Structure 1
Amino acid sequence: MDLVKWLSTRDGIAHRADAAAHGFSPSHVRAAIRAGHVHRIRSTWIALDSAPADLFTAAAAAGRLTCLSLARRRNWWIPDSSDGTDDQHHLQVRPNAHRLRTDVTFHWARPLVDRGDRVLQASVEDALAHIAQCLSSEDALSVWESAVKVEHLDLESMRAVRWPDSASRDYANTVRGMSDSGLETIFVVRLSPWGVPIRQQVMLAGHKVDVLIGTHLVVQLDGFAFHSSSADRTRDVAHDAQLRLRGHTVLRFTYAQVIHDWAYVERTVAAAVARGLHLSPAAQARRA
């Protein structure tokens, strides 16, 4: 395998020590650089034109992708205010790193997990610790919930990590890994102070529902990534019908409503609770 093909199997970018370990001598690498087949990044990295911009930036800054940058790369849920509108790369760098770049958000900290000098991505734990400091409490908790779900993280192990700050420790003790999306986390976090029992991912009528308030008020949250096809919509309508036949009230909210019109969502749920729709029909009859 030649150097270009080898690099293409590694996201188009690699540490020169790894290239040497795979049989590409320094003279071989220098020849490829002179021929324009690969680019030299500082003295330690080489890359193809096709290398992802975020990894290229990390190599150029002697850092590792972390925080929102790692969240995007690992497909964690990201709040709308950060997803696609934040052009900053988030990099974990050593405390003595330079601050010359203006297009990067630097996280100066000793890593919780030191992965060595040949990687361009921080550990999951380090990224979560940086998210705890970088985002609002609600958004940070949403990303943490998504990370737990996507990465299949063990909650007990998470709580045993020696987190560097109280915010990270609080999130580690709070996350449950129950949310199918950050949208679901936001909804639950905002309604938790109400004092009404709220459960997530409860099996009802043969399928899981996003949120169950009390025993009979079902809330389904339709995010961007779900419920988009005709088949999905048909399945949802059929499930809603089965829930209603069993005495449940079903409320559906879109991503845009939860994120951009929370007052409407809150008002609608409050009206349902005020009418006792979160109670069983028998309990409602007793209240009448």
Structure 2
Amino acid sequence: MDLVSWMETRGRIANRDDAADAGYSTAHVRSAIRAGRVNRIRAKWIASDGAALDHLAAAESGGQVSCVSLARRRGWWVPPDADSRVHLRMPRNGVVRQDGTTAHWATSFGPSRPRRLEATVEDALADVAQCFALDQAVAIWESAVRTKAISLDALQQVPWRSAASRRCLQHTRGGTDSSLETVFHVRLSAWGVRLRFQVQLAGHPVDFLIGTHLVVQVDGWSFHSSSADRTRDLAHDAELRLRGYTVFRYSYSQIIYDWNHVERTLAAAISRGLHLHPTPTRERI
């Protein structure tokens, strides 16, 4: 296999030490560079046409793709308003060599791994905790757990150095269905009311139960997109109301872009005691 074909198997970018280990001599690599078949990226990296821009930025700066950039690569949930800049975890002596990058200066939890262009999951999540508001950061953390990039047990064993990371750990749960639910849960967790999720009521789980009788359903598009889904949801809502529950439904758009409305209606409901068991009215004579 020639050098360019070998690099195709590695995302079109490779460390020259890895190339040497694979049997490509220094002379072979230099010949490919002179012929324009590969490009030299600083002293230690070579890339062929089509290499990913975030990997190129990491190679040029001596850092690793991290934070929201790694989240995108791994298919974790990303806040819709997250910036498109490349986020790099940089060593203390590193130098950012590309415009349009965000640097996270930190020491890795593990070995330095100079031949790797992507940060570890632990390092990336630590950067996320520093870069995003708590609700969004926890949503990314739980998405990493949900996609099996890391387990909740493993997260609990990491000696997190920052207060932001430790706060994320306190709020991170296993078994969440969506990042939208995570955002909702984190935002309400400071209210001081009893809040449970995925509670079985009337034969089906509800997303959240506030107190004993205020049900909140969070409608992410993937779970409520069809007519059959909508019909099932309405039937369950009606049954819950017959049993004395108050039911609110909020869309993705409302929670992400109109939180003030969501907060206002929930606060009003709690103020009126709708989260408590309804008191029977005395029959009039």
Q: Which residue number in structure 1 is paired with residue 231 of structure 2?
A: 237
Give runs of aligned pairs for residues 49-68 of structure 1, distance below 5 A.
Answer: 49-68=49-68
- CA displacement, residues 49-76 of structure 1 (integer Å, 9 cap, x when unaligned): 2111111111111110111111211122
Counterpart of 1:194 in 2: which secondary structure?
Answer: coil
Q: Which residue number in structure 2 is paired with residue 125 of structure 1?
A: 122
Scaled by the length of structure 2, what TM-score is found?
0.85
Structure 2, unpaired ranges of 5+: none
Give the counterpart letter for 1:20 in structure 2.
A
Aligned residues: 279
Give the counterpart letter for 1:200 in structure 2.
F
Give the counterpart letter for 1:73 in structure 2.
R
Q: Which residue number in structure 1 is paired with residue 133 of structure 2?
A: 136
CA apart distance, 1:144: 2.1
Structure 1, unpaired ranges of 5+: none
Q: 1:272 to 1:241 in 2, by over 3 A?
A: farther
Report whether the alignment pairs 1:70 with 2:74: no
Give the counterpart letter for 1:257 in structure 2.
Q
Give the counterpart letter for 1:16 in structure 2.
R
Provide the C-alpha distance between the structure 1 equivalents of 2:172 and 2:110, rounded to a whole number of angstroms. 21
Scaled by the length of structure 1, what TM-score is found?
0.84
Q: Which residue number in structure 2 is paired with residue 88 of structure 1?
A: 85
RMSD: 2.6
- CA displacement, residues 160-219 of structure 1 (integer Å, 9 cap, x when unaligned): 212122221222233113433332222112222333322223345665433232344332
Provide the C-alpha distance between the structure 2 equivalents of 1:17 and 1:203, rounded to a whole number of angstroms. 56
**Contact 2:214–2:247 (Cα < 8 Å) also in 1:** yes
Counterpart of 2:177 in 1: which secondary structure?
Answer: coil
- CA displacement, residues 24-55 of structure 1 (integer Å, 9 cap, x when unaligned): 23233223223322222112112222111111
Provide the C-alpha distance between the structure 2 equivalents of 1:37 and 1:139, rounded to a whole number of angstroms. 42
Give runs of aligned pairs for residues 222-233 of structure 1, distance below 5 A.
Answer: 222-223=219-220, 226-227=222-223, 229-230=225-226, 233=227
Give runs of aligned pairs for residues 195-274 of structure 1, distance below 5 A.
Answer: 195-204=192-201, 207-223=204-220, 226-227=222-223, 229-230=225-226, 233-246=227-240, 247=243, 248-273=245-270
Provide the C-alpha distance between the structure 2 equivalents of 1:46 and 1:9, rounded to a whole number of angstroms. 14
Provide the C-alpha distance between the structure 1 equivalents of 2:281 and 2:127, rounded to a whole number of angstroms. 49
Q: Which residue number in structure 1 is paired with residue 169 of structure 2?
A: 172
